[in-house]
């Protein structure tokens, strides 16, 4: 057992000053991922900074119509919030399809954004892993890759991003608010997570001295007609093989507005911009949905174990969008 220093700031300014003067510390929210990582000797901080006393646990509607979600709002509270359930149903569904009830009661929004991959080689400290120990190699390259990514991979890492919530936040164009001793900063969700490239140990654009304080959702009428669909090996408490977050508006049989993001297939929550572009103003048909999925997957790199994700992604995109076509607009 290793000793750990434990600090517990009570306001945001005290917290960012503490983070600034304790550069190798880890920030503790719900602890549902970090505690496992420390116990498994994957993370080995000398200090944890417990931020759960900070006043960041409210969901509020701003005068702009944006919804501001404090970084310490628990996942189950966010999923059940009436504003989220009615305006962004895909977000409620994504959260409820992640983890278990007990974990969702503990896990925070900020922690969910920063959760690490569930690549089994990352958690096995006897195996080489560039993400855990840069420069040691990637055991997955010659190993079992059924759960690994097909989009955004590099020769150095092909681990999927594990979060369901982040897939929905990506489709919804959320913004992450962060604070440091240098002041506040806003990071678009599309720029928050990064693909591995040659530095898979770096997973986000959050600086070492920054604290996530909130996530903001824009007012987005199309999101009221949205859905999150998750395909996994068992019906609960499993990570996605493929997931789709989609919002759709159809007018006169054509796609007037669409938002699409994928989980389980990308090294980061994957906004399917090529698929969206292919769909815009085209017919709202299953054939068009499949063509759009093909466009998004054109650059996919598969392994023999995860090649099945190509067809599973096409089918899940079609199945998700199909449910969002209003009955009067069905062409096929
Ligand atoms: Fe490590 Fe990434 Fe390779 Fe998994 S895929 S073993 S996380 S480098």
Per-residue model confidence as pLDDT tens digits over 260-312: 999 999 999 999 999 999 999 999 999 999 999 999 999 999 999 999 999 99
Q: Is residue 235 part of a domain?
A: yes
Ligand 1 centroid to Cα of residue 137, in Å, is: 8
Residue nearest (by alpha carbon) to ligand 1 atom 1: 129
Whether 124 is in a domain gets the answer: no
In sign, the C-alpha dihedral spanning 319, 113, 36, 208 is positive
Output the domain CATH number for residue 307: 3.30.390.50
Higher pLDDT, 64 or 1: 64
**Look-up of token digits 């690549």:** 119
**Domain assignment present for 1:** no
Residue 256, in any domain of the structure: yes
Segment 306-330 shows an average pLDDT of: 95
Number of structural domains (the chain) is 1
Residue 277, in any domain of the structure: yes
Q: Which of 126, 149, 158, 303 to mutate to test the pocket of ligand 1 (most atoms within 8 A of CB)?
A: 158
Residues 116, 37 contacting (CB under 8 angstroms): yes
Which of the listed residues 152, 157, 303 should we mutate to test ligand 1's pocket, taking the one with most ligand atoms within 8 A of CB?
157
Evaluate whether residue 299 is within a structural domain.
Answer: yes
CA–centroid distance, 133 to ligand 1, in Å, is: 10
Half-sphere exposure of 41 (CA within 13 A, CB side): 5
**Ligand 1 atom with the shortest distance to the CA of 127:** 6
Q: Is 101 part of any domain?
A: no
- The CA–CA distances, whole Å, from 12 to 53, 75, 186, 231, 295 equal 10, 21, 16, 39, 44
Q: Could you tell me the residue range of the domain that residue 250 belongs to?
A: 222-325
Comparing CA positions, the residue from 241, 68, 98 lying closest to residue 165 is: 98
- Residue 295 CB neighbours (<10 A): 17
CA distances from 260 to 26, 30, 113, 251 (A): 33, 29, 19, 18
Say if residues 204 and 195 touch (Cβ distance below 8 Å).
Answer: no
CA of 157 to the centre of ligand 1 (A): 5
Closest ligand 1 atom to the C-alpha of 141? 3
Q: What average pLDDT does the segment 124-137 reach?
A: 98
**Distance of alpha carbon 326 from alpha carbon 82, whole angstroms:** 23
Nearest residue by C-alpha to atom 7 in ligand 1: 122
**What does each C-alpha distance from 103 to 81, 120, 153, 315 come to in angstroms?**
17, 20, 29, 30
For the stretch 170-179, pLDDT in tens is 999 999 999 9
Which of 37, 138, 147, 156 to mutate to test ligand 1, by most ligand atoms within 8 A of the CB atom? 138
Q: Compute, in angstroms, the gap from residue 198 CA to the centroid of ligand 1.
A: 12
Probe ligand 1: pick from 37, 117, 145, max atoms within 8 Å of CB? 117
Distance CA 239, CA 124 (A): 18
Question: What is the value of pTM for the model shown?
Answer: 0.97
Ligand 1 pocket at CB < 6 A:
117, 119, 121-122, 129-131, 138-140, 157-159, 200
Judge whether residue 332 has pLDDT over 60. no
Could you tell me if residue 49 is inside a domain?
A: no
- Per-residue HEC secondary structure of the chain comes to CCCCEEECCCCHHHHHHHHHHCCCCEEECCCCCHHHHHHCCCCCCCEEEECCCCCCCCEEECCCCCEEEECCCEHHHHHHCHHHHHHCHHHHHHHHCCCCHHHHHHCEHHHHHCCCCCCHHHHCCCCCECCCCCCCCEHHHHCCCCCCCCECCECCECCCCCCCHHHHHHHCCCEEEEEECCEEEEEEHHHHECCCCCCCCCCECCCCCCEEEEEEECCCHHHHCEEEEEECCCCCCCCCCEEEEEEEEEECCEEEEEEEEEECCECCCEECHHHHHHHCCCECCHHHHHHHHHHHHHHCCCCCCCCHHHHHHHHHHHHHHHHCCCHHHCCC
pLDDT digit string, tens, across residues 186-203 = 999 999 999 999 999 999
Is pLDDT of 116 > 70?
yes
**Ligand 1 center–CA 129 separation, angstroms:** 5
Taking the CA of residue 156 as reference, the ligand 1 atom at the shortest distance is: 8
pLDDT-derived band at 329 (thresholds 50, 70, 90) equals confident
Tell how far the Cα of 179 is from the centroid of ligand 1, in angstroms: 30
């Amino acid at each position: 057992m290793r000793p750990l220093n434990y600090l517990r700031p009570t306001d945001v300014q005290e917290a960012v000053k503490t983070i600034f003067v304790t550069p190798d510390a880890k920030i503790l929210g719900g602890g549902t991922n970090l505690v496992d990582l420390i116990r498994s000797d994957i993370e080995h901080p000398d200090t944890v900074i417990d931020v759960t006393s900070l006043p960041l646990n409210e969901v509020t509607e701003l005068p702009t119509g944006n919804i501001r979600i404090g970084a310490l709002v628990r996942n189950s509270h966010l999923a059940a919030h009436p504003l989220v359930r009615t305006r962004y149903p895909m977000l409620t569904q994504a959260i409820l399809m992640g983890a278990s009830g007990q974990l969702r009661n503990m896990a925070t929004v900020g922690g969910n954004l920063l959760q690490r991959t569930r690549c089994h080689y990352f958690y096995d400290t006897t195996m080489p892993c560039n993400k855990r120990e840069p420069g040691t190699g990637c055991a997955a390259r010659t190993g079992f890759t059924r759960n690994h990514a097909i989009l955004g991979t590099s020769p150095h890492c092909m681990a999927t991003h594990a979060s369901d919530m982040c897939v929905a936040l990506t489709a919804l164009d959320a913004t992450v608010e962060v604070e440091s001793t240098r002041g506040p900063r806003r990071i678009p969700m599309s720029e928050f997570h990064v693909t591995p490239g040659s530095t898979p140990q770096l997973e986000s654009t959050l600086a070492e001295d920054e604290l996530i304080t909130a996530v903001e959702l824009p007012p987005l009428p199309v999101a009221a007609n949205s859905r999150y669909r998750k395909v996994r090996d068992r019906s609960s408490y499993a990570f996605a093989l493929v997931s789709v977050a989609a919002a759709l508006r159809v007018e006169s049989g054509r796609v007037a507005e669409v938002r699409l993001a994928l989980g389980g297939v990308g090294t980061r929550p994957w906004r399917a911009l090529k698929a969206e572009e292919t769909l815009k103003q085209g017919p709202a048909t299953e054939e068009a949905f499949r063509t759009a999925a093909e466009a998004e997957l054109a650059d996919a790199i598969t392994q023999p174990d995860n090649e099945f994700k190509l067809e599973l992604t096409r089918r899940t995109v079609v199945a998700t969008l199909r449910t969002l076509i209003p009955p009067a607009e069905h062409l096929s």
